[in-house]
Amino acid sequence: MKPIMELDNVEKTIYNDDATLNILDGINLKIYPQDFIVVLGTNGAGKSTLLDAITGANKVTAGKILLNDKDITTENLAKRAQFISRVYQDPKLGTSPRMTVAENLLLAERRGLPRRLRSRRLKEHMPEFKEFISSMPTLDNRLNTFTEKLSGGQRQTLSFLMAIIQKPELLLLDEHTAALDPQTSADLMAATDRTIKSKKLTCLMVTHNLSEAVAYGNRLIVLKKGKIILDLNTEQKAKLKEEDLLEYF
Ligand SMILES: Nc1ncnc2c1ncn2[C@@H]1O[C@H](COP(=O)(O)OP(=O)(O)OP(=O)(O)O)[C@@H](O)[C@H]1O
């Protein structure tokens, strides 16, 4: 099987006045279709820098990034955003507060299309959006609610739906449940997992939550000081227990 994404010896080096920091230090990773890879690591391990390197928010200093065999190492954020989407930790990022849930979904569905094709006829899309949010009970009957009136959990759920509405080649989840209360976080995580499976998405998820890391995904990588120090495949991950991970922290 061909990988969707390949990181080949990726490095991010920062030169300070008196020190050289290897924030990403020779990352080699192949992400295959329908992989759900969990990324764990202590604070400062390089997780956000890795996601920034993949999206193009931060350019790498060495190595190559391939998307479906095409070298995208020098492509900018906007170009890559057609294929790669990201959900952040902060419920305020990713959604427009003064727009309704349905308007936000329309914006996400039309993103990247030429202006003349960005239909303003929201009404026509309502049945489709109703169906689209039906798997997310927390957003039931909320299509006409202004986003600023939603709870943090509802807003994160909307951010997640906006990130997948165009079915990205690669979905990046950047601790997307971390800012929520434990029950809301668990509910969104379970809904995320169901959706990734049913829509056959390919996903890379950063988390600090060890039980989530054990329970979800088919692969697990641990980052430490910019290097991948553990890379478990599906079989190895199936045998994994939470306590096995403690030694890496
Ligand atoms: N522009 C920069 N200049 C200097 N140091 C940087 C820069 N960007 C990141 N770093 C450092 O690189 C390391 C990795 O940062 P990064 O944010 O990727 O870690 P992380 O694993 O996402 O951490 P966290 O779990 O705290 O979010 C940190 O030590 C950080 O201070």
What's the pLDDT tens digit per position in 180-205?
A: 999 999 999 999 999 999 999 999 99
In whole angstroms, what is the distance from residue 156 CA to residue 13 CA? 32
Helices (H), 113-151: 122-133
Q: Taking Cα atoms as reference points, which of 89, 67, 95, 81 lies closest to residue 205?
A: 89
pLDDT band with cut points at 50, 70 and 90 for residue 221: very high
Average pLDDT score over the chain:
92
Please compute the mean of the pLDDT values over residues 23-47 and round it to a whole number. 95
pLDDT at 220: 96
Assigned domain for 20 exists? yes
Give the model confidence (pLDDT) of 115-172 as tens digits. Answer: 665 556 788 889 999 999 998 988 988 999 999 999 999 999 999 999 999 999 999 9
Lowest mean pLDDT among 1-15, 42-56, 102-116, 214-228: 102-116
Assigned domain for 44 exists? yes
Nearest Cα residue to atom 29 of ligand 1 = 44
Q: What is the CATH number of the domain that holds 181?
A: 3.40.50.300
Nearest Cα residue to atom 4 of ligand 1 = 14
pLDDT at 96: 87
Assigned domain for 21 exists? yes
Domain that holds residue 29: 5-83+168-246
- Pocket test of ligand 1: the residue of 20, 39, 40, 48 to mutate, having most ligand atoms within 8 Å of its CB, is 48
Q: Taking Cα atoms as reference points, which of 41, 26, 12, 38 lies closest to residue 248?
A: 41
pLDDT at 16: 84
In whole angstroms, what is the distance from residue 247 CA to residue 249 CA? 6
Task: Look up the ipTM and state it.
Answer: 0.94
pLDDT at 114: 65
- Number of Cβ within a 10 Å radius of residue 91: 21
Assigned domain for 197 exists? yes
Assigned domain for 92 exists? no
Task: Using CA atoms of 205, 208, 214, 218 in order, give the dihedral in degrees to the nearest 10.
Answer: 10
Assigned domain for 186 exists? yes
Nearest Cα residue to atom 24 of ligand 1 = 43
Give the model confidence (pLDDT) of 84-114 as tens digits. Answer: 999 999 878 878 888 999 999 998 988 877 6
pLDDT at 115: 62
Assigned domain for 75 exists? yes
Instruction: Indicate the pairing of strand 170-174 with strand 84-87.
Output: parallel
- Number of Cβ within a 10 Å radius of residue 227: 16
Domain count, the chain: 1
Residues whose beta carbon lies within 6 Å of some atom of ligand 1:
14, 21, 23, 41, 43-49
In whole angstroms, what is the distance from residue 194 CA to residue 99 CA? 27
If you search the block for the tokens 């309704």, which residue do you land on? 100
pLDDT band with cut points at 50, 70 and 90 for residue 72: very high
Assigned domain for 28 exists? yes
29-65 residues labelled b (16+ CB within 10 A) or e (exposed)? bebeeebbbbbbbeeebbbbbbbbbbbbebebeebeb
